[in-house]
Chains A and B, each alone.
Chain A
Amino acid sequence: MTIAFSLQFQKKEEIDKEWDVIIIGGGPAGYTAAIYCGRYKLKTLIITKDIGGLLNEISVLENYPGFKKIRGSELAKLLKEQADEVGVKTILDEVLRVERNGEKFKVISRGYGEFYSKAVIVATGSARRKLGVPGENLPGVSYCAECDAPLFKNKVVAVVGGGSTAFHDALVLSEHASKVYIIHRREEFRAEPILVEEAKRNPKIDFLLNKVVVEMRGKEKVEEIVVQDIKTNDKITLKVDGVFVSIGMIPVSGLFQEMNVNIDENGYIIVDDCMKTNIEGLLAAGDVTNKGCGLKQVIIAAGMGAIAALSAFMYIKMSKW
């Protein structure tokens, strides 16, 4: 058992209402933007539901330059520490609404109420897509393998999907479960080949290809899933103790639709090369945006965060939009 620790202190204090920049979302895009904003001497607040966003679901991050291997949650802590050091304030809360309020933005959060800022950086990332099949709401259907894998010790689980995230989930689960099925609707995978090779070598992982899950069943929790072959339409029932859904992500942009922010047909916030949206003073960065050639990765999100911070600085201090 390894016991790691790091301590974070926050004194109880009244939180200012007026800020230069409010960043919504504390994943790699949000925290990188925060570190840059802090260094640009902008008075910066991050409002986020958690520290690190999807970083928390990465058991080992092996493709972030400079770190051969790092736990995602460890990197999240380092990012927050670095932002703390340059004076950025973090509060854990959910943003419910953003409004343009004359020259300023009004940001309304569930717990703390209203805040005002000159610029807003949206870094709300994305959330796991649901399958949309009957039974999906049963207990035992999970979307975070990193969190829940230990609960499936010596159990049989299925992972649905064929991207890097699905393979990541399957590999994490194989450390605990007795058997892991990867169910994918094609024969080829979008996942990084290095992950696919590792999964193929793993004796606990079995592949069910050209197949889709059409139903999940169980009394109090998921007990079996119905899997259909897309070529023959044959159906089989598979006994499982848990199902992990990894069929891609959907951007968390709903909040900004009401504000008339331009959003593309897949829900991504449309930004230019400087991360500007169509609304003056409103920037977006990371997985929630339409940039990055569809490569949804930590390094890309972080890069966009840095650019968004520069644009916020130019806007606030140099009056340039």
Chain B
Amino acid sequence: MAVLSDSDKEALKKIFEENLNSEVEIEIILDYEKNPEVSKIAEELFTEIKSLSNKILINFVRSDIDKVLEEKKLRIDTYGNRKGPIIIFSKYPNIVWYGLPAGEEFPVFLEQILHISSEHIHLPLEAAKVIHEVSRPLDILIFVTPTCPYCPIATHGSSMFSMVNKNIRTIIVEATEFPELSEKFNVYAVPKIAILGDGKVLDSWEGALPEVEFARRIKKVEGS
């Protein structure tokens, strides 16, 4: 059975046709060993997405997950994650999804594709300025669920930050697919955001902040 409905496919095709400038390459790290069910959905979903535009290049990675994570320098060990599927944009390897962008997150993911294709950053000027000045590599972990309508505020904001500044890596975690990780970070309400530097949690909170406030909070912990 198809993952996307026919009407969604039609609409998506049109959106891609009208909005994609340059090619966007996406790597999907599948993990049939530890997460066969979701990996299968991932493969189907991205095969369908790929068929909708020749500007979307999908690269399925199927080798040993540990090795791939190591190679990609995802420093994932710090967070205890050794599971897929994982989604990475080739041009912005600092935008990463652990698990599938389902439900409320799907529009955010599609927007990421369009924004990356057009190099268009959609942020309040003030937020972009603040983020531009961050000079230390930071990981922003954002835990979400597919039914969380407030989560896209956080995931959209952070992925735009990652486009502004390569020091900011956004890792969006589908909390229900990664229970061990969620437990480790005490995720009992979403969105839960954790800012990490050198693998240490520098700040964390529950709830989405408007972009400018979010940016300032990141800048503030940079020195800690």
Q: Which residues of A are at the interface with B, using a C-beta cutoff of 8 A?
A: 1-12, 14, 49-50, 52, 56-57, 59, 72-73, 76, 91-94, 110-112, 139-142, 144, 146-151, 153, 220-221, 242
In the complex, B107 has a CB within 8 A of chain A: yes
- Determine if A12 and B122 form an interchain contact, defined as CB atoms under 8 angstroms apart: yes
- Please judge, given known A-B contacts A93-B210, A94-B210, whether A151 and B182 are in contact too, CB under 8 Å: yes
- Determine if B123 and A12 form an interchain contact, defined as CB atoms under 8 angstroms apart: yes
Residues from chain B with a CB closer than 8 A to the CB of A10 are: 122
- Determine if B190 and A147 form an interchain contact, defined as CB atoms under 8 angstroms apart: yes
With CB as the reference atom, state the residue of chain A lying closest to B130: A111
Contact of B212 among A72, A111, A142 (CB under 8 A): A111
- In whole angstroms, how far apart are the Cα atoms of A112 and B211 in the complex? 10
- Please judge, given known A-B contacts A151-B175, A151-B182, whether A5 and B8 are in contact too, CB under 8 Å: yes
Quick one: which of B78-126 are within 8 Å of A by CB?
A: 100, 102-104, 106-107, 110-111, 114, 120-126
- Determine if A5 and B12 form an interchain contact, defined as CB atoms under 8 angstroms apart: yes
> Closest CB-CB distance, B15 to chain A, in whole Å?
6
| 12 A-B residue pairs with CB within 8 Å | A3-B45, A4-B106, A7-B110, A7-B114, A52-B149, A56-B149, A93-B210, A111-B127, A140-B188, A142-B189, A151-B176, A242-B188
With CB as the reference atom, state the residue of chain B lying closest to A149: B147
In the complex, B4 has a CB within 8 A of chain A: yes
- Determine if B4 and A3 form an interchain contact, defined as CB atoms under 8 angstroms apart: yes
- Please judge, given known A-B contacts A3-B106, A7-B111, A94-B213, whether A150 and B149 are in contact too, CB under 8 Å: no
- In whole angstroms, how far apart are the Cα atoms of A42 and B12 in the complex? 34
Interface size, B (range)? 35 or more
Residues from chain A with a CB closer than 8 A to the CB of B114 are: 7
> Closest CB-CB distance, B152 to chain A, in whole Å?
9
- Determine if B150 and A50 form an interchain contact, defined as CB atoms under 8 angstroms apart: yes
Main secondary structure of the interface of A (DSSP, over half): loop
- Determine if B146 and A150 form an interchain contact, defined as CB atoms under 8 angstroms apart: yes
Residues from chain B with a CB closer than 8 A to the CB of A9 are: 122
Residues from chain A with a CB closer than 8 A to the CB of B124 are: 91, 93, 111-112
Name which of A7, A8, A220, A242 has the most chain B CB atoms within 10 A of its CB.
A7
Residues from chain B with a CB closer than 8 A to the CB of A2 are: 103
With CB as the reference atom, state the residue of chain A lying closest to B107: A5
In the complex, B181 has a CB within 8 A of chain A: no
Quick one: which of B118-151 are within 8 Å of A by CB?
A: 120-127, 145-151
- Determine if B126 and A150 form an interchain contact, defined as CB atoms under 8 angstroms apart: no
In the complex, B41 has a CB within 8 A of chain A: yes
- Please judge, given known A-B contacts A112-B212, A142-B188, whether A3 and B103 are in contact too, CB under 8 Å: yes
- In whole angstroms, how far apart are the Cα atoms of A128 and B103 in the complex? 25
With CB as the reference atom, state the residue of chain B lying closest to A57: B149
- Determine if A111 and B188 form an interchain contact, defined as CB atoms under 8 angstroms apart: no
> Closest CB-CB distance, B199 to chain A, in whole Å?
20
- Determine if B153 and A50 form an interchain contact, defined as CB atoms under 8 angstroms apart: yes
In the complex, B20 has a CB within 8 A of chain A: no
- Determine if A139 and B147 form an interchain contact, defined as CB atoms under 8 angstroms apart: no
- Determine if B187 and A151 form an interchain contact, defined as CB atoms under 8 angstroms apart: yes
Contact of B110 among A5, A50, A73, A146 (CB under 8 A): A5
- Determine if A139 and B125 form an interchain contact, defined as CB atoms under 8 angstroms apart: no
> Closest CB-CB distance, B187 to chain A, in whole Å?
7
With CB as the reference atom, state the residue of chain A lying closest to B176: A150
With CB as the reference atom, state the residue of chain B lying closest to A1: B102
> Closest CB-CB distance, A51 to chain B, in whole Å?
8
Nearest 4 Cβ contacts at the A-B interface: A111-B212, A56-B149, A73-B149, A147-B148
Contact of A76 among B148, B149, B153 (CB under 8 A): B149
Name which of B123, B187, B188, B213 has the most chain A CB atoms within 10 A of its CB.
B188
Contact of A151 among B4, B190, B210 (CB under 8 A): B190
Name which of A49, A148, A220 has the most chain B CB atoms within 10 A of its CB.
A148
> Closest CB-CB distance, B13 to chain A, in whole Å?
13
In the complex, B224 has a CB within 8 A of chain A: no
- Determine if A93 and B189 form an interchain contact, defined as CB atoms under 8 angstroms apart: no
In the complex, B74 has a CB within 8 A of chain A: no
Quick one: which of B1-45 are within 8 Å of A by CB?
A: 3-4, 8, 11-12, 15, 41, 45
